[in-house]
Amino acid sequence: MTDFVTGSTHSADALPVSAVDPLADLPGYLLRRAANSMMAELGTRLNAHELRISEATVLLLINDRTDLTSAEIGKLLEIQRANMVPLLARLETAGLIHRVPINRKSQAIVLTPHGRTRLDEVRAVTQKFEADLLERIPAQHRPHLVPALQALLG
């Protein structure tokens, strides 16, 4: 059998992970491995819609807002101002967003009609993904994940 996440092929009756990998009980290490696995999975699903995770995240954040600037999106998503430039350029080239001048210095990033349609696809993908992710977690631990992760963010 092949593991859904890791792709490893240990049999089900093998020793616990920690016996073969002494790091497998460390929360920080697990956090990185789990995030990498889950983001690889999400990336694959979004790739079918020709979007990167960062691009889909921007679409979800903008939604119907018409007041967000590039710098504000970056702050909310923890993306450097400089790194927003190529990201938004790709979304603009794909016809998913357009720029509405606020003044001569700032411009709002707004979804185009096509962008709104694509956002509906993104929402379907991410909702399915989030549901699948939660289903992998045993019920008794499930309600604790979001609060625990939020605590790590401050």
Partner DNA sequence: TATTGTTATACTCTATAACTATA
Partner DNA sequence: TATAGTTATAGAGTATAACAATA
Residues of the shown chain interacting with a second copy in the complex, contacts defined by CB under 8 A: 3-6, 8, 10, 17, 20-39, 42, 53, 57, 60-61, 63, 75-78, 126, 129-130, 133-134, 136-138, 140-142, 144-154
Residues in 14-73 that interact with DNA by CB under 7 A: 32, 36, 40, 43, 52-54, 69-72
CA-closest candidate to residue 69, choices 108, 23, 34: 108
Q: Minimum CB separation from a second copy for residue 103, in Å?
A: 23
Give start and end residues of each alpha helix (H) in the chain: 17-20, 27-47, 53-62, 70-77, 81-93, 113-135, 142-153
Contact 98, 112 (CB under 8 A): yes
Tokens, residue 95: 């016809």
Q: Which residues bind to DNA, rule: CB under 7 A?
A: 32, 36, 40, 43, 52-54, 69-72, 78-85, 88, 103-107
